[in-house]
Amino acid sequence: MSLLARIKTPADVRRLTHRQVASLAAEIREFLVQSVSRTGGHLGPNLGVVELTIAIHRVFESPRDTIVFDTGHQAYVHKLLTGRQDFSDLRKRGGMSGYPSRAESDHDVVENSHASTALSWADGIAKANQVRGLDDRHVVAVIGDGALTGGMAWEALNNIAAGRDRRLVIVVNDNGRSYAPTIGGLAHHLDVLRTTQGYETVLSWGKRTLHRSGPPGRFAYEALHGLKKGIKDVVAPQGMFEDLGLKYVGPVDGHDAPAVERALARAKAFGGPVLVHVMTEKGRGYTPAEQDVADRFHAVGKIHPETGLPLAPSRFGWTSVFADEIVRIGRRRPDVVAITAAMLAPVGLAPFAKEFPERTFDVGIAEQHAATSAAGMAFAGLHPVVAVYATFLNRAFDQVLMDVALHRAGVTFVLDRAGLTGDDGASHNGMWDLAMLRGVPGLRLAAPRDEPTLREALRAAVDIDDAPSVVRYPKGAVNDPITAIDEIDGVDVLARHEPEGAEHSVLVVGVGAMATTALETGELLAAHRLRVTVVDPRWVLPVPAALTKLVGQHDHVVTLEDGVADGGIGSAVAQRAQEAGLRTTVQPVGVPLAFLDHASRDQLVTTLRLTPQDVARDVLTWFDERS
């Protein structure tokens, strides 16, 4: 039996010899490559934390000691060491989550996979342990150097440092990357720590020199003390952390398991907040990932385990359309600049950055700063385009509201992976943006349905200079083009059905990528002798006056959106209709107000009854109940 197969709990890990630990690390890497290549998932980050995670479980006693992973996508090794070794259904419905999950294990604590939150969690848990008198328990927060660029992490550090007697260990997993190379002043600071000889080494040399020259007198000790004080700021920039009140240990080679164990044991024995700086290599031990310069192995689909190449090529996607169009806009508009939050390539800004490096700003994992910095750029005469995943705009809502909208700043937010994304689970579904942004005065939001409307929406958005504009689109392959048969004051008419003998009429409104579902729903309703008009407003916020007028021309309206239905676009249409004195019933169809477990998008659509068949059936039921 392999060593890994014998690991059922962390206690089994603690019983291993150092030689066995090295063998276990090799087995885990082989397991990860073979398993994740079959299912897809976060491969690179987990290959980089094998020895680190083993060491944490050898020094600390989970779940008595609490281990919190920032972001959590690097917790696969933690899962293996806590008895979860069936990865056959990783990130699939009913299978293992790609992030820590309380439903899976008592060893998992934080499920929210948004970055820069772990230190606040750890601070709260450590404070609770102190209040409850649980002084023999430790809290370990594992955070990457990329996540340390988030402002919330520094708010937490400021508070952690105040608790001098709280047993809290911060492990900085420093691989110089998040999705992409870590940027900013902190990255430079950590780089100095990585490349500078530690001052303890210089002091050891000084002590040996004094010893060889005879018994040292007071002057020699004073000189040694002066040497220590003088060189510390030069060769040990960890003073930044120690000045905050945090004991600093490191830097430590994160792939030297005994060295990591020793560092963690020192931190554990200190009895107060300690920062352990561990240097790791993302993708360690897997040649394709080690040689990659584009972070393709941060998260992968199904790949060939030997080559790392995808088993099936990806179809041309929404992100690729944006990537191409924003470069075209940049060539035409020298005032357009691009901002991203540590996701230059995933959101499609890499081509823009290559052509316009001086007009591209990666702010790190700092969406709040991105939004407010964009407002400043707009004030100073530029038109910023802030590209983020839809789920991450949640973190910057106050800045969109108070810094951008209140100041009528011309900032365009491009939301990738809007709607149901599926596999990454509750925290990554971009389903909140429509309902959330509906409450921002003056904001204009476009939901394109295909490639031509996405390009058109982007061009229109960057021409808005007196309010925030938003363009949102889903994850994956772009829909086939849908040509409008008519256009009414900005509202595209996609289809009209006039079956003979129809007594009632239905307006079907498809928001963005739901336009295809709207068309299929319209055909099903027409087959039941209903007069049907299918429309796509394209710009859904504010609700177009032409759409409200169309509502009044039909007996019933059904709106389809891949965002939260409560307070979403359908609710906005219903409110506008009521304010206009219309008696037409509006039936909003969308995502329920709930956190959704990981599953494929198609599975979620079926479960949530968002298929054309389900929508048509519900509309027909509404008419039957009133006949």
pLDDT score for 230: 46
Q: What is the mean pLDDT of residues 239-262?
A: 84
What percent of the chain stands above pLDDT 90?
A: 55
Q: Which part of the chain has CATH 3.40.50.920?
A: 486-625
Task: Name the pLDDT band for 304 (thresholds 50, 70, 90).
Answer: low
What's the chain's length in residues?
A: 627
pLDDT averaged over every residue in the chain:
85
User: What is the spatial distance between Cα 171 and Cα 175, in angstroms, rounded to a whole number?
Assistant: 12
Range with the poorest average pLDDT among 66-80, 89-103, 569-583, 604-618: 89-103
Higher per-residue confidence, 611 vs 113:
611
| SS3 state of residue 440 | coil
Q: Does the pLDDT of residue 547 top 50, yes or no?
A: yes
Task: Name the pLDDT band for 406 (thresholds 50, 70, 90).
Answer: very high
Q: Does the pLDDT of residue 232 top 50, yes or no?
A: no
Task: Name the pLDDT band for 233 (thresholds 50, 70, 90).
Answer: very low
73 is known to lie in a ligand binding site? yes
Higher per-residue confidence, 326 vs 95:
326
pLDDT score for 101: 83
φ/ψ (deg, to 5) at 53: -65, -40
Q: Are 558 and 531 within 8 A, CB to CB?
A: no
User: What is the spatial distance between Cα 78 and Cα 67, in angstroms, rounded to a whole number?
Assistant: 10
Task: Name the pLDDT band for 382 (thresholds 50, 70, 90).
Answer: very high
pLDDT score for 43: 81
Residue 56 CA to its chain's centroid (Å): 25
Tokens linked to 598 = 């990981």
| Residue 395: active-site member | yes
Ramachandran region, residue 407 (left: φ > 0; alpha: ψ -120 to 50; beta: rest): alpha
Q: What is the mean pLDDT of residues 7-20?
A: 93
405 is known to lie in a ligand binding site? no
Distances, alpha carbon 567 to alpha carbons 76, 387, 431, 545, 547, in Å:
37, 24, 12, 19, 18
Tokens linked to 238 = 């960890």
Task: Name the pLDDT band for 74 (thresholds 50, 70, 90).
Answer: confident
| Residue 247: active-site member | no
| SS3 state of residue 277 | strand
Tokens linked to 322 = 């944006």
The most confident of the ranges 47-51, 182-186, 526-530 is 526-530
pLDDT score for 187: 52
φ/ψ (deg, to 5) at 552: -70, -15
User: What is the spatial distance between Cα 478 and Cα 390, in angstroms, rounded to a whole number?
Assistant: 17
330 is known to lie in a ligand binding site? no
Q: How many helices and strands (H and E) does the chain possess?
A: 25, 18
Fold of 318-472: Rossmann fold (3.40.50)
Q: Smallest Cα–Cα separation from 305: which of 330, 329, 288?
A: 288
113 is known to lie in a ligand binding site? yes
Higher per-residue confidence, 95 vs 242:
95
Task: Name the pLDDT band for 117 (thresholds 50, 70, 90).
Answer: confident
Q: What is the mean pLDDT of residues 32-39?
A: 84
CATH 3.40.50.920 fits 486-625, yes or no: yes
| SS3 state of residue 413 | strand
146 is known to lie in a ligand binding site? yes
Q: Does the pLDDT of residue 519 top 80, yes or no?
A: yes
The DSSP output letter for 309 is: -
Q: Does the pLDDT of residue 235 top 50, yes or no?
A: no
Q: Are 163 and 130 within 8 A, CB to CB?
A: yes
Q: Maximum distance among all alpha carbons in the chain?
A: 112
| Residue 282: active-site member | yes
Range with the poorest average pLDDT among 40-49, 382-391, 510-519: 40-49
- Catalytic-labelled residue, pool 395, 444, 531, 576: 395
pLDDT in tens, 330-359: 999 999 999 999 889 899 999 999 999 999
Q: Does the pLDDT of residue 283 top 60, yes or no?
A: yes
Sheet holding 274-279, edge to edge: 66-69, 139-144, 168-174, 274-279, 247-253
504 is known to lie in a ligand binding site? no
The residues near 132 (Cβ < 8 Å, ≥ 6 apart) are: none
Q: What is the CA angle 81-83-85, rounded to 5?
A: 90
214 is known to lie in a ligand binding site? no
Task: Name the pLDDT band for 282 (thresholds 50, 70, 90).
Answer: confident
Fold of 4-196+237-290: Rossmann fold (3.40.50)
- Catalytic-labelled residue, pool 247, 282, 438, 449: 282
Tokens linked to 107 = 């060893």
Kindly report the number of other CB atoms within 10 A of residue 452's CB atom. 13
φ/ψ (deg, to 5) at 596: -100, 130
Tokens linked to 303 = 């790949």
Q: Does the pLDDT of residue 237 top 50, yes or no?
A: no
Distances, alpha carbon 312 to alpha carbons 309, 320, 556, 596, 601, in Å:
9, 17, 43, 27, 18
pLDDT score for 314: 58
- Catalytic-labelled residue, pool 51, 261, 325, 367: 367
User: What is the spatial distance between Cα 230 and Cα 202, in angstroms, rounded to a whole number?
Assistant: 11
Tokens linked to 125 = 């848990």
Q: Which part of the chain has CATH 3.40.50.970?
A: 4-196+237-290, 318-472
pLDDT score for 306: 65
The residues near 570 (Cβ < 8 Å, ≥ 6 apart) are: 509, 559, 561, 586, 587, 588, 589, 590
Higher per-residue confidence, 382 vs 233:
382
pLDDT score for 294: 55
pLDDT score for 193: 53
Q: Does the pLDDT of residue 160 top 60, yes or no?
A: yes
